[in-house]
Structure 1
Amino acid sequence: MVKFAAIKGFVFDLDGVITDTSTFHSQAWHQIADKVGVSWNDQLADALKGISRMDSLNLILAQGHRENDFTPAQKQALATEKNTNYLQLVNQMTPANILPGITAFLTELTTAGYALSLASASKNAPLVLRKLGLSDYFTKAVDPASLKHGKPDPEIFRRGAEILGLNPADCIGDPTVLVAADINFTDTTQLTLANIKAQLN
């Protein structure tokens, strides 16, 4: 486990850490499901988390036994419509959508001189940061188009360290509930340097 004194940077994921856009994804897909006549439920919403746009659409269509009812072009149009629905919701975001304790934590980190980067697989991450008013904290961000592997592969977080000129071992990643993580926090209000130091030392 890394020692607290060795930490030089912090690599953040966006969704579920800084803000929660998964509800917007669900709302946007719900609109598409309604349009194609597929009934929406919590199990379907959960199944769509973390998978690509086209895979999500195919899952929705399969749920309603409609997977063979649309041409590739029609499917592409539905996937594009979902993204349009999603962006309309994202455009309504404000700093009120930042998860509790995150702004104070980011201020604490920058005041203490730590380097920060964003490691989000979302192509919409820059827009989300702008809406939240947090762009100034994340002048360095991983370009998701440059990645060869999707999560759970750690490539995106390794790249998040690289763009800071740091080794991954010198960084703290976002606390996701993973058994291999050095530290886990159950909610964002626990994210403080004091709590991280206490856990590591």
Structure 2
Amino acid sequence: MFEQMKGAIFDLDGVLVDTAKYHFLAWRELANQLGFEFTEQDNERLKGVSRMESLRILLEIGGLHLSEHELLQLAAKKNEKYVEYISKLNDSELLPGAKAYLIDLREQGIQVALGSASKNAKFILDQLNIAYLFDVVIDGNQVTKAKPDPEVFLLAGQNLGLEPKDIVVFEDATAGVEAALAAGMRVVGIGQKDVLQRADLVVAGLYELL
């Protein structure tokens, strides 16, 4: 499946770096302030979901109903806490093989893009010292539809100037795998085969592709 690959699009969380733990800590802190528990099991429901949708799920868990204005305030509060955590990030937190694989692709002349729901994606790439390895970065500031909608990948592909059939997506969430397939792209799942059954290939991490 890699023979005709001209472009590669990477999700961020769980593929290149594990920032999910910082999202969890920030959401848990917010839940505690609102007076209820938020567990790691609850957190599974937020994977690959936008910030506002995640907040709605969190409030549903806590049995709270708030106004749109209050929702926006809480989303901003959560993001401040998350940014506080990720401002301490450095390249030691890159997942095994991530940087080496990005470099390997570039040396082969393959174009590289990021396709992430995160609104902090560019900041995180800078913190990890890998921003220079990306030709295109499409994040939550440029898209309105969350995965499994293919918008983020289609936009990344357009910016790379490539056809979907020439692009391989690297994803760790089922919603991301579905989004890549809906975009007409091939997809490598990062994680467990029983979870990412619809991916064309599943590996435990990018280090397996080196």
TM-score normalised by structure 1 residue count: 0.84
Greater mean deviation of Cα atoms: 123-132 or 147-156: 147-156
Name 1:53's counterpart in structure 2.
51
Q: Percent identity?
A: 35
Match of residue 92 from structure 2: 96
Q: 1:168 aligns with which of 164, 167, 176?
A: 164
Amino acid at match of 1:119: G
Q: Residue 37 of structure 2: SS of its match in structure 1?
A: coil
Q: Which has the higher contact order (CA 8 A, sep 6+)?
A: 1
Q: Which residue of structure 1 lines up, in the alignment, with residue 197 of structure 2?
A: 179
Moved over 6 A (4+): none
Correspondence 1:131 to 2:101:
no
* Cα distance change of structure 1 residues 53 and 140 upon mapping to structure 2, 3 Å threshold: closer
For the residues of structure 1 that align with 2:92 and 2:6, how far apart are their CA atoms?
A: 29
- Structure 2: which amino acid aligns with 1:26? F
Shift of 1:132: 0.2
Higher strand share: 2
Q: Which moved more, 1:32-41 or 1:128-137?
A: 32-41
1:87 is matched with which residue? 83
Deviates more, 1:85-94 or 1:151-160: 151-160
Q: Secondary structure at the match of 2:112?
A: strand
Distance apart, 1:87 and its partner CA: 0.3
Specify whether residues 159 and 53 from structure 1 end up closer, same or farther in structure 2 by C-alpha distance, changes over 3 A only: closer
1:151-189 deviation line (CA, Å, top 9, x unaligned): 112232222222111111112210225333222112232
Equivalenced residue count is 188
Give the match for residue 22 of structure 1.
20
After superposition, give the CA deviation of every residue in 1:76-134 in whole Å (9 maximum; x if it has no partner): 22221100000001101000110001111111111222111111121110000000000
Distance in 2 between the 1:26 and 1:48 partners?
9
Extract unaligned runs of 5+ from structure 1: 193-201
Measured at CA, do residues 52 and 96 of structure 1 come closer, stay the same or move farther in structure 2, by a change above 3 Å? same
Kept in 2: contact 1:11–1:157 (CA 8 A): yes
Structure 1 SS opposite 2:16: coil
Equivalent in 148, 151, 168 of residue 147 of structure 2:
151
Please report how far the alpha carbon of residue 143 of structure 1 lies from its aligned counterpart in structure 2 after TM superposition. Answer: 4.7
Stretches of structure 2 lacking an aligned partner (at least 5 in a row): 171-187, 190-194
Instruction: Look up the equivalent residue of 1:158 and give its one-letter code.
Output: L
2:160 aligned partner, one-letter code: L
Q: Say whether the 8 Å CA contact 1:38–1:61 is kept in structure 2.
A: no
In the TM superposition, what is the alpha-carbon distance from 1:10 to its structure 2 partner? 1.1
Compare 31-40 and 178-187 and name the one that shifted more.
Answer: 178-187
CA distance, structure 2, for counterparts of residue 64 and residue 143 of structure 1 = 29
- What is the one-letter code of the residue matched to 2:204? T
CA-based RMSD:
1.9
Aligned counterparts of 2:27 and 2:144: Cα–Cα separation in 1: 26
Report which of the two structures shows the higher radius of gyration computed on alpha carbons.
1
- Give the TM-score normalised by the residue count of structure 2: 0.81
- Residue 138 of structure 2: SS of its match in structure 1? coil
Q: 1:154 to 1:83 in 2, by over 3 A?
A: same
